[in-house]
Every structure is written in C-alpha cells, then in structure tokens.
C-alpha cells in the first residue's frame, strides 16, 4: 500500500472519494460537512491531503483544513474504501496527514470531531486528548460545516458547547521541534549562565 502526500496525479480519484464519503455517511446515518469535487480537487492539487493507493486502486483519503488564521488545523474527511478497511489504512493515513500538518503548521493546535471509535483510537495514539468544544476553533466557517449533519439541531440547542461528536485536540509543545526541546537564543544564553554558575 502506498501512502502519499497528494498531488495532481491523484485527481483521478476525486469522484470516487466524494461518492464514498457520501455513501458511508448515509450508511452510518450521520451527516458530514459535504465537500464539493472542486473543494476536494483543490486540496489534492495543493498537496493538502494524503492519498492511499494499492496497485493503482484508491484505498483512502484525508485532508488538512486550517481555521482561526492558522491557529488550528483539522485533519478532516478521513475515508477508507470499504474493501480495504480494518487493515490499518486509516492509521497510516492519519499518521501521515498528522505529520504533514505538524510540518506545515508547527505551532497550530490539531483537532478533530468524531463519533467513530476507530478515529478516537488513532487520535489518542497520536497524542490527542478529549476536550470540550470551547477549546476548539471558534471560527464560524468551521461550525457552519456542521449544518449538513443530522445532529445540527442538537448542536444549536446546546449552544455549540457540545453534541454527539467527541472533540479531540492535540496541543503542540511549542518549546519542542520534532519532539526535541529547542533552545531559543535567549534561553541558550540563560542556560549557559546557569551551567557556568553550577561549575
């Protein structure tokens, strides 16, 4: 199985991806933020998505969205083709799209809303924690995406404080770069002073 950052060569899969997103939501009886072929195509051609394939066949997909002027990133629209499910594809795709998000937006908080156990498991393994909705982006455009969801009325009744989805958030440690503590020049100077003192 190949897991790649998207490029124009993956545009051939866009209708299949969009159709499967719709069909899966229908089967689960949930709504999703409906994305047009144009929107998904832009994500793919701009390299803001991850596509999994096997022998030229489409396997799975996920894309990056930014909110609150880049303070928040969501890895959205995760979908695996039914015949490739429960083989670890979603785990590999989410890992790749998470790394891509961290590289592109190292200081952004990464979040997701889900009702799915599989996604909750994958997110916890990546270091996401469950949170209340007020911890997420308050960008109106993001919440407008919930309008197509069958549970939108519940969200509104609860004044957008909670709903049936579990919110999960990864908060980067901005003192670390790729997991390693980064010493800022001023801290480095302070560290040198401290280590001189201790000699």
Ligand X SMILES: CC(C)(COP(=O)(O)OP(=O)(O)OC[C@H]1O[C@@H](n2cnc3c(N)ncnc32)[C@H](O)[C@@H]1OP(=O)(O)O)[C@@H](O)C(=O)NCCC(=O)NCCS
Q: Is 149 in the site for ligand X (CB under 6 A)?
A: no
Taking the complex as a whole, the smallest distance from the CB of residue 73 to ligand X amounts, in Å, to: 15
Taking the complex as a whole, the smallest distance from the CB of residue 32 to ligand X amounts, in Å, to: 7
Among the listed residues 79, 110, 126, 149, the single contact to ligand X using CB under 6 A? 79
Nearer Cβ to ligand X, position 31 or 47? 31
Strands (DSSP E) contained in the chain are 2-5, 49-54, 57-67, 72-80, 109-114, 129-131, 166-170, 176-177, 180-181
Please name the residue that has the structure tokens 């549970």: 151
Neighbours of 66 (CB within 10 A): 18
Among the listed residues 121, 147, 158, 161, the single contact to ligand X using CB under 6 A? 121
Among the listed residues 38, 55, 83, 86, the single contact to ligand X using CB under 6 A? 86
Please name the residue that has the structure tokens 């949930």: 30
- With 0-12 / 13-18 / 19 or more C-beta atoms within 10 angstroms meaning exposed / middle / buried, residue 116 is middle
Q: Is 95 in the site for ligand X (CB under 6 A)?
A: no
Which residues of this protein are in contact with ligand X, per CB under 6 A? Answer: 24, 78-80, 85-91, 114, 116-119, 121-122
């Amino acid at each position: 199985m190949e897991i790649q950052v998207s490029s124009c060569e993956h545009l051939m899969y866009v209708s299949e991806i969009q159709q499967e997103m719709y069909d899966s939501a229908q089967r689960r009886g949930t709504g999703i933020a409906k994305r047009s072929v144009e929107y998904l195509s832009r994500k793919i051609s701009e390299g803001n998505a991850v596509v999994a394939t096997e022998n030229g066949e489409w396997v799975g997909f996920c894309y990056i969205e930014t909110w609150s002027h880049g303070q928040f990133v969501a890895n959205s629209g995760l979908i695996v083709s039914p015949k490739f499910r429960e083989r670890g594809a979603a785990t590999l795709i989410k890992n790749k799209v998470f790394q891509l998000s961290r590289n592109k937006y190292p200081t952004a908080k990464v979040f997701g809303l889900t009702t799915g156990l599989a996604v909750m498991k994958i997110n916890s393994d990546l270091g996401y924690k469950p949170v209340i909705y007020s911890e997420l982006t308050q960008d109106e455009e993001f919440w407008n995406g919930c309008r197509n969801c069958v549970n939108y009325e519940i969200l509104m009744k609860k004044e957008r404080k909670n709903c049936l989805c579990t919110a999960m958030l990864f908060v980067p440690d901005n003192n670390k770069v790729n997991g390693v503590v980064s010493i800022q020049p001023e801290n480095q100077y302070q560290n040198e002073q401290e280590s001189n003192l201790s000699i």
